[in-house]
Amino acid sequence: MKKLINSKLGQQIIKFGAVGFLCFFIEYVLLILFKELLGWPVIAANTLAFTVSAIVNYILSILFVFDTDKKANQGKQFAVFFILAVGGLILNNVVLKLGTMVLDPFWSRSYIIVKPFATGVVMVYNFITRKIFIEKKPEKEAGAEEKEKQ
């Protein structure tokens, strides 16, 4: 376990978790504010809260979590991140909607307890997809891919 924690992947997971917790807090607070204070429907409130959180998450992920290719096209990296975030938003809203459909008959504010579960599902999706599509590939892998293209 200590070996994993001290490994590059272990450190990445710890940083990813810290950034994720901060972004979840931002998203959760905004969701409740938009829903309770502004009276928005839960999916609209969740969509805006998720969007704000995703932007913060992108910035922190690039700066602190993933070893991104600084030479790569930043616009392309953001586009990939955005496409992945839309997938996460859809997944988040589906879990939130299904959960509230089941629990709303018992408590009209069930979104408050469903949201952490929806976020947990999306957290796994985010780590896997960002690791695959955003992180810079090691030189030997990148070189092998270039040879395959030729």
3-state secondary structure of 139: helix
pTM above 0.85, yes or no: no
DSSP notation for 28-57: HHHHHIIIIIS---HHHHHHHHHHHHHHHH
> What are 101-117's pLDDT values in tens digits?
999 999 999 999 999 99
DSSP assignment string, 50-108 = HHHHHHHHHHHIIIIIS---TTS-HHHHHHHHHHHHHHHHHHHHHHHHHHHHHHTTT-T
Residue 10: per-residue pLDDT: 84
